[in-house]
Structure 1
Amino acid sequence: MTENSGRLQIELLFGALSDRHRRQLVAYMHTINKDLFHLDDLAQIIAIQETDPSEVSEEKREQVKIELHHRHLPKLDDAGLIEYDSRNGDVRYRGTTDSELIDVSQFLNSTEEIAANIDQ
């Protein structure tokens, strides 16, 4: 891998993980012991994380599903974290090593802490 392609991959990865929903998806898929998910199931997971599970409406699930389809899953696919088949809604988790996920997570957490301190 050349230096430029390495930088591009890092930019894609950080761009993909810059959104809370995408981080939640990657963390969820990383912890579940399977590699194939469906858009409907992932929309349900995100919708539950945003509201009380007993209050998740069909409208909310559909809204999240649309966001995942048009915005979040394509970014994760571009970054190489998943393979997304938009025709049938299949999402294949490509995986990361635990150390890669921890390194990225720690970096993102530290930047959130720095930003919170700046805002104060």
Structure 2
Amino acid sequence: MTTTTPTPPDPGPDGNRAALVASLLDWLETRDRTPAELSLVLDTVSNRRRRVTIDALRAHGEALTLPDLAEEVAVRELDRPLTEIEPEIVTEIYASIYHDHLPRIEDAGLVAYEQERDLVVPAFD
């Protein structure tokens, strides 16, 4: 009888969630956060689109314009090149990030949003 090690399922575009949360927890350890603030951060990263958004910023390591961030999130969520994604879908993702997710991520202290420049600046390493 032979035993084979099962192949783990493909983690897909959100496969780095454990690494992302671990890096955020490491970052939080260097800050003086209350339990309520820690809960806010954990609640923030409980949503897939917010995790993908944060991870995209973390991967770039620098500020991105909101349109560029929306494109990056679309590519990661759909696991397709930008040229194969309909502009309407990117527009929907942009609106979702702008109206729902970005304010929550900003409230958690993970980004700063410069509306005049439409720039999302990561607050974490």
* Structure-2-length-normalised TM-score: 0.66
Which residue is equivalent to 2:76? 49
CA distance in structure 2 between the partners assigned to 1:20 and 1:69 by the alignment: 15
1:31 to 48, 59, 64: 59
CA distance in structure 2 between the partners assigned to 1:83 and 1:22 by the alignment: 14
Q: For residue 33 of structure 1, report the CA deviation from its aligned partner.
A: 3.1
Which residue is equivalent to 1:78? 107
Q: For residue 86 of structure 1, report the CA deviation from its aligned partner.
A: 3.4
Structure 2: gaps (5+ residues): 1-32
Q: How many percent of aligned residue pairs carry the same amino acid?
A: 26
Given that residues 52 and 77 in structure 2 are in contact (C-alpha distance below 8 angstroms), is that contact kept between their aligned partners in structure 1? no
- Structure of larger gyration radius: 2
CA distance in structure 2 between the partners assigned to 1:18 and 1:33 by the alignment: 22
Q: Between 84-93 and 60-69, report the one with greater CA deviation.
A: 84-93
Deviations 1:45-65 (A, max 9, x none): 111123222421110110000
| Number of residue equivalences | 91
Deviations 1:21-48 (A, max 9, x none): 11112222222232x1110011001111
* Structure-1-length-normalised TM-score: 0.68
CA distance in structure 1 between the partners assigned to 2:56 and 2:77 by the alignment: 14
CA distance in structure 2 between the partners assigned to 1:74 and 1:62 by the alignment: 17
Answering whether residue 50 of structure 2 is matched by residue 22 of structure 1, we say: yes
Higher helix share: 1
Query: Which stretches of structure 1, 4 residues or longer, exceed 3 Å deviation after superposition?
Result: none
